[in-house]
Amino acid sequence: MLLKLYIVLIFLTTLSLHSRVQAIGVNWGTSASHPLPPSKVVELLKANKISKVKLFDADPTVLESLSGSGIDVTVGIPNSMLKSLNASKKAAESWVHNNLTRYLSDGGGGVKIEYIAVGDEPFLQSYGQQFQPFIVGAVTNIQVALIGAKLANNVKVVVPCNSDAYLSESGLPSKGHFRSEINKTMIELLTFLNKHHSPFFVNIYPFLTLRQNKNISLVFSLFEPTAHSLNDTHKTYKNSFDLSYDTLVTSLSQLGFPEMEIVVGQIGWPTDGAVNASSSIAQTFMKGLVTHLESKMGTPLRPKKPPTETYIFSLLDEDQRSITTGNFERHWGVFTFDGQAKYHFNLGQGSRNLVNAQNVEYLLSRWCVVNNNKDLTDATSKALEACSVADCTALSPGSSCFNISWPGNVSYAFNSYYQQHDQSADSCDFGGLGLITTVDPSVGNCRYIVEIQTSDSVSLNRTPLFWWRLLMPLDLH
Ligand X SMILES: *[C@@H]1O[C@H](CO)[C@@H](O)[C@H](O)[C@H]1NC(C)=O
B/e letters for 183-206, b = 16+ CB within 10 Å, e = fewer, are eebbeebbebbbeeebbbbbbbbb
Kindly tell me which of 228 and 462 has the beta carbon lying closer to ligand X: 228
Whether a cis peptide bond, with omega within 30° of 0, leads into 407 is yes
Among positions 61, 229, 291, 322, the unique one binding ligand X when judged by CB under 6 A: 229
Give the CA count within 13 Å in the CB-facing half-sphere of 169: 2
d(CA 411, CA 370): 5
- Nearest approach, Cβ of residue 297 and ligand X (Å): 17
- Nearest approach, Cβ of residue 94 and ligand X (Å): 4
Task: Single out the catalytic residue among 93, 121, 309, 329.
Answer: 121
Among positions 183, 365, 372, 438, the unique one binding ligand X when judged by CB under 6 A: 183
Is 174 an interacting residue with respect to ligand X (CB under 6 A)? no
Among positions 33, 69, 99, 419, the unique one binding ligand X when judged by CB under 6 A: 99
Is 385 an interacting residue with respect to ligand X (CB under 6 A)? no
Tally of CB atoms within 10 A around 322? 10
Helices and strands in the chain, H and E counts: 16, 17
Is 377 an interacting residue with respect to ligand X (CB under 6 A)? no
Kindly tell me which of 380 and 454 has the beta carbon lying closer to ligand X: 380
Determine phi and psi for 453, rounding to 5 degrees. -75, 130
d(CA 331, CA 270): 5
Q: Mask of contacts with ligand X, 254-283, x by CB under 6 A?
A: -x-------------------xx-------
Q: Mask of contacts with ligand X, 35-74, x by CB under 6 A?
A: ----------------------xxx---------------
| Binding segment (CB under 6 A) for ligand X, from list 211-219, 243-251, 319-327, 330-338 | 211-219
Residue 158's DSSP bridge partners are 117
| Binding segment (CB under 6 A) for ligand X, from list 123-131, 312-320, 344-352, 401-409 | 401-409
> Catalytic annotation on 121?
yes
**Ramachandran region, residue 474 (left: φ > 0; alpha: ψ -120 to 50; beta: rest):** alpha
Is 111 an interacting residue with respect to ligand X (CB under 6 A)? no
Among positions 13, 80, 236, 308, the unique one binding ligand X when judged by CB under 6 A: 236
Is 218 an interacting residue with respect to ligand X (CB under 6 A)? yes
Is 251 an interacting residue with respect to ligand X (CB under 6 A)? no
d(CA 221, CA 209): 8
Among candidates 5, 107, 116, which has minimal Cα distance to 64? 107
DSSP per position, 322-343: --SS-GGGG---SB-TTS-BSS
Q: Are strands 200-203 and 166-167 parallel, antiparallel or unpaired?
A: unpaired
Residue nearest to ligand X (CB): 171
Interface residues toward ligand X, by CB under 6 A = 57-59, 86-87, 94-95, 98-99, 133-134, 137, 170-171, 177, 180, 183, 210-211, 213, 215, 217-218, 228-229, 231, 236, 255, 275-276, 380, 383-384, 387, 392, 395, 403, 406, 409, 413, 444
